[in-house]
């Protein structure tokens, strides 16, 4: 039988025990002195380093400046992916000939890992902003396109036929029937896109960037400072989570608005 | 494959596909070598790509020949994926079956979960250098998280009546796992495995791009350093081809393991 939920007290005891056990093991490993503290810092070393990065520039900037430059790149790539993906998905759902042209190309490109665009990104854009944006775009684009397309294809034919009978043009049918009906699916796709885009950004910054959290981690790696690398991981993880929380709230709002 | 389900017969589709391919190659040739609209320093012409492919298969490029690069990457991914997903699925099932395990592991998992797979690369390099051990570590974390999450949700999504029926019939112990929990969670487990495999592949390519002796990412890396667009494209297409074949392979296993879900 599937177990009933634990009593809150027991749940919290176990959770605290799990967290404490993890931190204790980590601290012991660090304190045992088998390796240098630079190599394996204790948890509080990472916290201290994180606080230090926030006030003292490392790799050219303080932590929040790195974050700002990462977020700026992410925003550009993500907005580009959404603003190409949604219209293209709608066009593919509406005109079969667009579908037949775009689908094979898209299926081929989709299997290329976004990170594999790094060499071309460097070749085409040098160290400019275009490189990371291209990589984020490649990561974030597929889910928006697929979800828009699927959402639009699932629209009940009745509505489309009714709109056409009432004399709606292709443009109006797409923007006033297909698009609104596909919104829940699109929003779900946008959320996945944001996650994948953020992941691709990190990869891009490890290789083609001279600022950003990924770059900070590379510099930390080069100076064998595990605490710096871990601070970067924390910053990336927390920011990614915040982006998802915001988008989830938007999704919830839309669902509530539509009575779903 | 179109995003929509195709309805025409196979030979007809094959014919259309070949025709489309011919048109694409002709267009590509025209844009690059034919009229020189796209400079060869930016994007290679079809003939250059063929030459690069020939070079890498016959003479080798960047320390190894094509099949050696491919084998190295594919073997690393397969090993890392197998280790990570077997531990991940086991942990996910345990978390799904036991509330106590879930409560105990959850805090650690909450920390690991939001970290993107690629963000493990610098840490792996600091700890393990540029060798295979670092690649395994990166693949492990990439593949671990999705397999845990999906196995866990798989158990939690099993229909209640199934549990009740199992309880009434007195199924417990190893039989309970083998006949109720695991089959019930399988569809979701496979969703997790597919995500895991994708994440492992992407992450390995990224890790090899950052530094490796051989492997598909190394072709890309060397191609970028030599400013050799044709070889970069060969590398990218190889990454896509291997990723696609591995996904197909997993799909084949999925159909063997869950014949009752075959379409």
> Would the CB atoms of A202 and B116 count as touching at under 8 Å?
yes
- Least reliable range by pLDDT among A231-240, B39-48, B137-146: B39-48
Q: How many CB atoms lie within 10 A of CB A111?
A: 20
Find all residues with CB under 8 Å of B113, minimum gap 6, and list them.
B145, B149
For the residues B30-56, what does the mean pLDDT come to? 83
Question: Which residue of A102, A113, A205, A209 is the best one to mutate when testing the B interface, meaning the one whose CB has the most B CBs within 10 A?
Answer: A113
Residue B2 pLDDT more than 70?
A: no
| Residue in A17, A207, A226 nearest the CB of B126 | A226
Q: Within a domain: residue A229?
A: yes
Each residue of A147-172: pLDDT tens digit? 999 999 888 888 888 888 888 888 88
Each residue of A91-113: pLDDT tens digit? 999 888 888 888 888 888 888 88
Paired with A61 in beta bridges are: A58
Range of the domain at A159: 60-257
User: Contact, A225 vs A38, CB < 8 A?
Assistant: yes
- The SS3 of residue B64 is strand
B6 band by pLDDT with thresholds 50, 70 and 90: low
Give the residue, A2 or B168, on which the prediction is more confident. Answer: B168
State how far the Cα of B27 lies from the Cα of B21, in Å rounded to an integer.
10
Q: What is the pTM of this model?
A: 0.85
Give the residue, B5 or A246, on which the prediction is more confident. Answer: A246
> Would the CB atoms of A229 and B107 count as touching at under 8 Å?
no
In total, how many domains does chain A have? 1
> Would the CB atoms of A15 and B104 count as touching at under 8 Å?
yes
State how far the Cα of B120 lies from the Cα of B100, in Å rounded to an integer.
29
Give A-chain residues touching B74 at CB under 8 angstroms.
none
Contact residues, A window 132-161, toward B, CB-based 8 Å cutoff: 146, 149-150, 153
Q: Within a domain: residue B176?
A: yes
> Would the CB atoms of A117 and B201 count as touching at under 8 Å?
no
Q: Within a domain: residue B35?
A: no
Residue B44: what are its φ and ψ, rounded to 5°?
-75, 155
> Would the CB atoms of A104 and B236 count as touching at under 8 Å?
no
Residue A260 pLDDT:
61
Q: What does the mean pLDDT of chain A come to? A: 88
Residue of A124, A75, A251, A256 whose CA lies nearest to B227: A124
- Least reliable range by pLDDT among A38-47, A73-82, A229-238: A38-47
Instruction: Identify which of A18-27, A161-170, B203-212 has the greatest average pLDDT.
Output: A18-27
B262 band by pLDDT with thresholds 50, 70 and 90: low
Contact residues, B window 115-134, toward A, CB-based 8 Å cutoff: 115-123, 125-127
| Residue in B114, B202, B232 nearest the CB of A119 | B232
Find all residues with CB under 8 Å of A12, minimum gap 6, and list them.
B103
- Please indicate if any CB of chain B lies within 8 Å of the CB of A41: no
Whose structure tokens read 């923007």?
A175
Give A-chain residues touching B226 at CB under 8 angstroms.
none
Give A-chain residues touching B1 at CB under 8 angstroms.
103-104, 107
H or E element: which one contains B71? helix B66-97
Q: Within a domain: residue A116?
A: yes
- Please indicate if any CB of chain A lies within 8 Å of the CB of B106: yes
B1 band by pLDDT with thresholds 50, 70 and 90: very low
- Please indicate if any CB of chain B lies within 8 Å of the CB of A226: yes
A209: its two tokens: 């960037």
Total residues belonging to chain B: 263
Residue A119 pLDDT more than 50?
A: yes
Q: Within a domain: residue B197?
A: yes
Residue A78 pLDDT:
95
Q: Taking CA atoms, what residue in A is nearest to B162? A: A1
- Least reliable range by pLDDT among B88-92, B109-113, B240-244: B109-113
Q: Taking CA atoms, what residue in A is nearest to B129? A: A221
- Least reliable range by pLDDT among A200-204, A206-210, A247-251: A206-210
Residue B246 pLDDT more than 80?
A: yes
Residue A68 pLDDT:
93
Give the residue, B1 or A119, on which the prediction is more confident. Answer: A119
State how far the Cα of A72 lies from the Cα of A80, in Å rounded to an integer.
12
Residue B84 pLDDT more than 50?
A: yes
Q: What percentage of chain B has pLDDT greater than the value 70?
A: 96
Q: Within a domain: residue A14?
A: no
State how far the Cα of A134 lies from the Cα of A208, in Å rounded to an integer.
11
For the residues B231-252, what does the mean pLDDT come to? 91
For the residues A217-231, what does the mean pLDDT come to? 90
How far is C-alpha B196 from the geometric centre of its chain's CA atoms? Answer: 7
> Would the CB atoms of A116 and B2 count as touching at under 8 Å?
no
- Please indicate if any CB of chain B lies within 8 Å of the CB of A122: yes
Q: Within a domain: residue B98?
A: yes
Q: Within a domain: residue A171?
A: yes
Q: What percentage of chain A has pLDDT greater than the value 90?
A: 39
Q: Within a domain: residue A203?
A: yes
A260: its two tokens: 């779903």
Please spell the DSSP secondary structure of chain A, one letter per residue: -PPPPPPHHHHHHHHHHHHHHHHHHHHHHHHT-SS-TTTS--HHHHHHHHHHHHHS-BTTB-HHHHHHHHHHHHHHHHHHHHHHHHHHHHHHHH-HHHHHHHHHHHHHHHTS-GGGGHHHHHHHHTTSTHHHHHHHHHHHHHHHHHHHHHHHHTS-HHHHHHHHHTT--HHHHIIIIIHHHHHHHHHHHHHHHHHHHHHHHHHHHHHS-SSSHHHHHHHHHHTT-HHHHHHHHHHHHHHHHHHHHHHHHHHHHHHHHTT-
> Would the CB atoms of B121 and A206 count as touching at under 8 Å?
yes
Each residue of A182-206: pLDDT tens digit? 888 999 999 999 999 999 998 888 8
User: Contact, A202 vs A69, CB < 8 A?
Assistant: no
Widest Cα–Cα separation across chain A: 79
User: Contact, A207 vs B83, CB < 8 A?
Assistant: no
How large is the ipTM?
Answer: 0.86
Range of the domain at B76: 46-261
Residue B7 pLDDT more than 60?
A: no
Q: Within a domain: residue A44?
A: no
Q: Within a domain: residue A54?
A: no
Each residue of B47-80: pLDDT tens digit? 888 888 888 888 888 888 888 999 999 999 999 9
In total, how many domains does chain B have? 1
Q: Within a domain: residue A100?
A: yes
> Would the CB atoms of B232 and A229 count as touching at under 8 Å?
no
Residue B4 pLDDT more than 80?
A: no
Question: Which residue of B91, B116, B154, B155 is the best one to mutate when testing the A interface, meaning the one whose CB has the most A CBs within 10 A?
Answer: B116
- Please indicate if any CB of chain A lies within 8 Å of the CB of B210: yes
CATH number of the CATH domain containing A141: 1.10.3720.10
State how far the Cα of B195 lies from the Cα of B183, in Å rounded to an integer.
19
């Amino acid at each position: 039988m599937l177990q009933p939920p634990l009593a809150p007290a027991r749940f919290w005891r176990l959770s605290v025990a799990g967290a404490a056990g993890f931190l204790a093991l980590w601290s012991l490993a660090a304190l045992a002195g088998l390796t240098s503290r630079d190599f394996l810092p204790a948890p509080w070393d990472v916290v201290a380093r994180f606080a230090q990065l926030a006030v003292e520039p490392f790799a050219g900037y303080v932590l929040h400046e790195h974050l700002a430059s990462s977020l700026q790149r992410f925003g550009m790539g993500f907005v580009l992916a959404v603003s190409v993906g949604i219209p293209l998905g709608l066009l593919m759902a509406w005109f079969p000939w667009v579908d037949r042209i775009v689908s094979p190309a898209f299926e081929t490109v989709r299997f290329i890992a976004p990170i594999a665009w790094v060499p071309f990104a460097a070749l085409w854009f040098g160290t400019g902003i275009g490189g990371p944006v291209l990589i984020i775009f490649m990561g974030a684009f597929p889910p928006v396109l697929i979800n828009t397309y699927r959402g639009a294809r699932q629209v009940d034919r009745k509505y489309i036929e009714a709109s056409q009978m009432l004399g709606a043009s292709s443009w109006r049918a797409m923007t006033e029937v297909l698009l609104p009906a596909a919104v829940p699916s699109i929003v779900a796709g946008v959320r996945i896109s944001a996650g994948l885009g953020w992941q691709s950004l990190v990869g891009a910054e490890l290789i083609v960037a001279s600022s950003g959290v990924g770059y900070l981690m590379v510099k930390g790696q080069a100076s064998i400072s595990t605490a710096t690398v871990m601070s970067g991981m924390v910053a990336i993880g927390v920011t990614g989570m915040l982006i998802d929380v915001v988008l989830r709230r938007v999704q919830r709002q839309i669902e509530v608005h539509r009575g779903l | 494959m179109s995003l929509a389900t195709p309805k025409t017969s196979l030979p007809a589709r094959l014919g259309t596909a070949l025709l489309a391919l011919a048109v694409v190659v002709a267009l590509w040739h025209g844009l690059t070598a034919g009229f020189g609209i796209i400079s060869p320093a930016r994007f290679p012409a079809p003939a250059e790509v063929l030459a690069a492919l020939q070079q890498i298969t016959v003479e080798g490029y960047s320390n190894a020949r094509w099949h050696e690069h491919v084998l190295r990457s594919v073997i690393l991914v397969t090993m890392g994926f197998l280790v990570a997903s077997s531990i991940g699925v086991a942990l996910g099932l345990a978390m799904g079956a036991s509330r106590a395990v879930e409560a105990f592991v959850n805090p650690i998992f909450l920390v690991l979960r939001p970290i993107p797979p690629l963000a493990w690369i610098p840490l792996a390099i600091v700890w393990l250098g540029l060798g295979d051990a670092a690649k395994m570590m990166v693949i492990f974390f990439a593949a671990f998280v999705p397999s845990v999450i999906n196995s866990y949700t798989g158990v939690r999504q099993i229909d209640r009546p199934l549990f009740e029926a199992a309880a009434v019939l007195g199924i417990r112990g190893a039989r309970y796992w083998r006949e109720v929990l695991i089959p019930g969670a399988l569809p979701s487990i496979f969703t997790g495995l597919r995500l895991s495999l994708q994440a492992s592949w992407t992450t390995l390519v990224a890790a090899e791009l950052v530094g490796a002796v051989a492997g598909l990412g190394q072709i890309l890396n060397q191609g970028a350093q030599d400013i050799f667009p044709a070889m970069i494209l060969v590398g990218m297409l190889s990454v896509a081809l291997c990723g696609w074949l591995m996904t197909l392979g997993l799909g084949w296993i999925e159909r063997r393991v869950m014949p009752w879900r075959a379409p």
